[in-house]
Structure 1
Amino acid sequence: MGKFFDYLKTKTFRKNLIIAAVSIIAFLLFIFYSLGFYTHHGEGMPVPKLKGLSIGRAIELLEAEGLRYQINDSVYLIDKEPGIVVEQDPDPNTNVKANRTIYLIITRDAPNIKFPDIAGKTYLEVRSILNNYQLKVGDTSYVSDVARDVVISSAFGGNIILKGQQIPKGSRVDLVLGDGLGASEVDIPNLLGLNLNEARLSLLGSSLRLGEVSFEGSVIDSAGAKIIRQFPAISDTLNKVSIGTQIDVVLSN
């Protein structure tokens, strides 16, 4: 044992120890620089920004840079159309080597839900219900009905939609509402060909008033003259008026 400790104190041991340490350090440096050279350490290309692009455009950019891609997942976002990149890994501007795989998350089609029961509810109630179901209010129109701002019918894609039918989340639902005037509107009577007295009786029966009376041409016997025009007249877009509306007439022999 004493000889061993005496050997440790010799110049030969110290020389061998130094040689061994230098050899180990040189070997480690060789390995480090060799790996760096082999893997092109510090070299690469920045990953392009893909978020917000369509998946088709994103693939074009990646292939142009010699990069691969893989769609890792898809999510539904109400405010984005399907096929839009929303996440990428690695992040934009990260240096990577050629042929590196870039992982993407894209948006997908909206899932279907059952349409809620909104018939007979007010516009404010329906707007809240549709919002809770992640649906949107589309166009609104009014029809003659005693109930004001109450949903008479609803449509999606131009077709009537009823409670329980499947509809994609985020869809726009068109609403037909009551105007609250149903009880106060009456059909416009056809006064053409009637004399003045007959017109008065017809208007009285419809709760309407006779308005301005005018004559066309030379009228000798006003009692025998017939109505040739009336205002408002019945048309494809107008067939009802409010109770008490006055109807103007033009008479002629």
Structure 2
Amino acid sequence: MSDSAAPVGDASGLQLTLKVWHPGCWSIEVTEDRPGGLLAHAVYRTAEDNVRSLFTAYGDTTAEVDALVDAIRDSEHTNSVLELEERYGSSVSTPEAGGVARELFVEETPEHSVNDAFVSRGFLHDQPIRIVDGEEFWPVFYRGSRAELEATLEEIREERDADIEVTRISSSGPPQGSTHRRVDRLSEAQRDAYELARAEGYYSWPRQITVRELAEKQEVSKTTFLEHLRKAESKLLDP
């Protein structure tokens, strides 16, 4: 870890970058032996309870990106791949993003996604996740001390059989406009739905409660609860 002398337990929390590997992940598998890479911008739950993610596939040449997209379509861990009109590609600023970029919606079942394992424990995405050479790099914000962070990461490692390494850490507060600020933009109903889902194990694997059961706890319809929860997730996860 870098910045090892930074103070512990700063009330503003921790900013860090995590290097993550976990089994059954299509994005890790398709980038392991191929040039180019992926940027994961946002993660959503569909009404059917699948996971749909917005990605940029990038590379130095059209052939590299074509091969990457074909591998995503062929993966046994993806359900569908939808190409979009360019949204993020023109503004990709990482040095690895070469001259070709393509925007994708990729749908999968939640079985091999680790996003919920992080979200349910209070991690918030600060920037897009970068996947290159078979590894994921997660820039995240975590409200808590370093001791709490280590214990939380160990829980995720054991729960998801994941390798997680902290490659950068800072105790300074998040910059203006980061994901952390979005919590304040949730409506009361959205915040209540999200906090209840976290507390009751909705984001755990295996899932400990259904949307219908959560709605019953709040004494609202399933449709109403799901609407509040999806809007909260969108505000928290979409950069």
Q: Which has the larger radius of gyration?
A: 1
Return the TM-score normalized by structure 2.
0.17
> Relative contact order: is structure 1 or structure 2 higher (C-alpha 8 Å, sep ≥ 6)?
2
Bigger fraction of residues in helix: 2
The TM-score normalised by the length of structure 1 is: 0.16
Task: Report the structure, 1 or 2, having the larger strand content.
Answer: 1
